[in-house]
């Protein structure tokens, strides 16, 4: 367990700013880097975007960067926390940076909304840096507690922009390199054009190709990718 995390939530080694395909999100990445590096004093930032847009990656990257700078930081994904006792948020206000992922999931969970509200207030008093993510912006969150909803709207808010085709191809090539795969750029372009433009789906297909490439010891070329996936994908 990462000593910077009070909960049993581990961070993938590749969840860094360097591994993020920026696309049109350069401004938000720079803002996160400043905040995680301690340059923005007592800052707050809210990320919104659909599933697989990179929100979780960026929050984890910020926590990792803060830890590298010697700051106490915690990544808190509500996808994993909602079944637990909201009391686990107590005592976290002393962290220099707190990153709350998928805040929209709090809707309908009054005890969690209240717990986050109290932690928010205490953390702000201690000048902690606060990061939040959700599928929608803070103004449209379906959170019942008005005071929490208003506080989430403080600070900067960014809507992550989807990757264009060049960004999707870059994502495939970067992930293939991380897996130790030889992938031709033309093969990545073929996948984006013929298989899917959804980043999560593309990475699922790449995982299938990884297994097939390992079994056959063949690089990822257009003929091989077409053979394994087919244009029907």
Domain with CATH 3.40.50.300 in the chain: 26-159
This prediction has a pTM of: 0.84
Amino acid 184: pLDDT: 96
Between 26-36 and 55-68, two packed helices, what is the crossing angle to 10 degrees?
A: 30
When the candidates are 3.30.200.20, 3.40.50.300, 3.40.710.10, 3.40.50.1000, the CATH number that belongs to 26-159 is 3.40.50.300
Amino acid 12: pLDDT: 62
Cβ-in-10-Å burial (0-12, 13-18, 19+) of 3 comes to: exposed
State the fold for domain 165-229. Helicase, Ruva Protein; domain 3 (1.10.8)
Amino acid 7: pLDDT: 53
User: What phi and psi values does residue 120 have, to the nearest 5 degrees?
Assistant: -55, -50
pLDDT bin (cut points 50, 70, 90) of residue 5 is: very low
Domain with CATH 1.10.8 in the chain: 165-229
Amino acid 2: pLDDT: 41
Average pLDDT score, the chain: 90
Average pLDDT over residues 75-86: 95
Name the more confident of 185 and 40: 185
- Which residues are CB-neighbours of 222 under 8 A, at least 6 positions away? 184, 186, 187, 190
**Could you tell me if 127 and 41 are in contact, meaning their C-beta atoms sit under 8 angstroms apart?**
yes
- Is beta strand 129-134 parallel, antiparallel or unpaired with respect to 156-159? unpaired
Helices assigned H by DSSP within the chain: 26-36, 55-68, 78-81, 110-125, 146-152, 165-178, 185-194, 199-216, 222-229
**Could you tell me if 178 and 57 are in contact, meaning their C-beta atoms sit under 8 angstroms apart?**
no
Express as a percent the part of the chain with pLDDT over 90.
81
Average pLDDT over residues 79-101: 95
Amino acid 178: pLDDT: 87
Confidence check: pLDDT of 203 > 60: yes
Each residue of 8-35: pLDDT tens digit?
455 565 789 988 999 999 999 999 999 9
Average pLDDT over residues 63-68: 94
Task: Return the number of other C-beta atoms located less than 10 Å from residue 191's C-beta.
Answer: 26
pLDDT bin (cut points 50, 70, 90) of residue 51 is: confident
């Amino acid at each position: 367990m990462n000593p910077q995390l009070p909960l049993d939530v581990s961070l993938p080694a590749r969840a860094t700013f360097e591994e993020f395909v920026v696309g049109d999100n350069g401004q938000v990445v720079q803002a996160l880097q400043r905040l995680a590096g301690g340059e923005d004093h007592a800052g707050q930032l809210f990320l919104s975007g659909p599933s697989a847009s990179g929100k979780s990656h960026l929050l984890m990257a910020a926590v990792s960067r803060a830890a590298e700078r010697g700051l106490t930081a915690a990544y808190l994904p509500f996808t994993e926390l909602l079944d637990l006792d909201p009391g686990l948020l107590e005592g976290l206000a002393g962290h220099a940076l707190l990153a709350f992922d998928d805040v929209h999931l709090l809707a309908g969970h009054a005890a969690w909304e209240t717990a986050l509200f109290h932690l928010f207030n205490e953390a702000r008093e201690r000048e902690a840096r606060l990061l939040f993510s959700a599928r929608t912006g803070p103004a449209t969150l379906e959170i019942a507690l008005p005071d929490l909803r208003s506080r989430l709207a403080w600070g900067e808010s960014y809507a992550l922009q989807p990757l264009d085709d060049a960004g999707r191809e870059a994502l495939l090539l970067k992930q293939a390199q991380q897996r130790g795969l030889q992938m031709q750029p033309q093969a990545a372009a073929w996948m984006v054009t013929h298989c899917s433009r959804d980043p999560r789906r593309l990475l699922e297909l790449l995982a299938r190709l990884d297994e097939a490439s390992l079994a056959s010891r063949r690089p990822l070329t257009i003929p091989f990718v077409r053979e394994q996936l087919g244009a029907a994908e």
